[in-house]
Amino acid sequence: MPVYNADPFVGSAIESILQQSFSDFELLVVDDGSTDRSVDVIEGYRDPRLRLIRIENKGCYPARNAALAEARGVYLANQDADDISLPERLEKQVRFLKEHEPVVLLGTTTLGCDLADTFRLPQPTHFLRDSSSTIPHLVETRSVQSTSAFTCATMMLRRSLLERIGPYDDRLCFGADVDFVARAATVGKVACLPEPLYVFRITPGSISGAGSRIQREILSIVSGAFARTGPRRIREFNEDEVARLLRLAETRRNLPRASERIKWAYYHTRLATLLRVNGHFRESLKHSFKAIALAPENLFKDRKLLGNLVKGGMRGILGWPHQPSAVGPDSTTVRK
């Protein structure tokens, strides 16, 4: 679990692991140079399974690599500091990997929640199932080579996978988790459990528009490298791609810090999207209008915001189809 300035949420994230039905684990929490009270919160837990590792601020992927270098387990699982693992997550992932040896990496579907975790709704997945095998829940290789097929924080992998493909490629300032899954798929099977076992918290600190553009360009470079090397070979970046990745990393470092206004606008847009894809069109429109009020300029450059307004408006304002009135707290259903 990499942690950077997550003191409002890191306690809930830690507790969600310490309270797992599967108890034979170590929890490596890597403080990535936090300047808030995160370390105080972490040190308040006396569970012997928890180990705190402190490093200078280098970013999420170097922090994950620091944990991988220290980990002693047969299976290695991710957890983000502002998310929640549901109680049977580790148990069900370990069981699946024990029963299906060809699978080297296993994710789960997820629920998305708002900042205060007042509702939980299924997040869409972006992959095709591989029905050609007797192993259940496999993901087609092409589904993981250019996009985040499932939430990468949900994944559990075999230690032996690291010996074959190495750790996260920290030359990638975004998308190193997508690249890691894509490399895993070149040497073994990747699967995703259909049961949501992880809660992804949408926060105002999520990637904003400028970061999204950099992320898309990085994923395009990764996709091109895989297309060039072929489906069963681990990709290698050529000199031009490495130079482009270095320039993008430098561009990201020099991006002006997004204002609170912009952060909250993107937060409401992401909530609107989650609500819309789950059929809660009026609530989606409410958050879309909040996003526009905060950052009206986004209406002309944010495709998700525009899509929420058009698709949500047709259903929410015109009333087709009928939609429930409110989202129930901590629930995947709607309370009318």
For the chain (336 residues), the mean pLDDT of every run of 10, in chain order, is: 96 98 98 97 97 95 95 96 98 98 97 97 90 92 81 96 94 90 93 97 79 86 84 83 91 85 94 95 94 93 89 64 45 38
What does the pLDDT read at residue 223? 86
- Size of the chain in residues: 336
Distances from the Cα of 67 to the Cα of 26, 61, 78, 79, 321, angstroms: 11, 10, 10, 11, 48
Are the CB atoms for 153 and 198 separated by under 8 Å? yes
How many other C-beta atoms lie within 10 A of the C-beta of residue 310?
Answer: 10
What does the pLDDT read at residue 210? 67
DSSP 104: E
Q: Is the domain of 91 the same as that of 168?
A: yes
Rounded to an integer, what distance in angstroms lies between the CA atom of residue 98 and that of residue 7?
35
Are the CB atoms for 106 and 97 separated by under 8 Å? yes
Are the CB atoms for 194 and 150 separated by under 8 Å? no
In a domain? residue 95: yes
pTM to 2 decimals?
Answer: 0.89
What does the pLDDT read at residue 317? 59
CATH code of the domain covering residue 168: 3.90.550.10
The two structure tokens encoding residue 199 = 């809660």
Domain boundary among 185, 201, 217: 201
Q: Is the domain of 196 the same as that of 82?
A: yes
What does the pLDDT read at residue 336? 25
In a domain? residue 187: yes
What does the pLDDT read at residue 209? 65
What does the pLDDT read at residue 325? 41
The residues that bridge with 72 in the sheet, in sequence order, are none
In a domain? residue 330: no
What does the pLDDT read at residue 257? 81
In a domain? residue 332: no
In a domain? residue 63: no
The domain tally of the chain equals 2
- What's the pLDDT tens digit per position in 102-140? 999 999 999 999 999 999 999 998 888 988 899 999 999
Name residue 254's amino acid.
Answer: N
In a domain? residue 54: no
Rounded to an integer, what distance in angstroms lies between the CA atom of residue 311 and that of residue 295?
20
How many other C-beta atoms lie within 10 A of the C-beta of residue 243?
Answer: 11
Q: Is the domain of 157 the same as that of 272?
A: no
The residues that bridge with 273 in the sheet, in sequence order, are none
Name residue 154's amino acid.
Answer: T
What range does the domain containing 78 cover?
71-201
What does the pLDDT read at residue 72? 94
pLDDT > 70 fraction of the chain, expressed in percent and rounded = 91
In a domain? residue 49: no
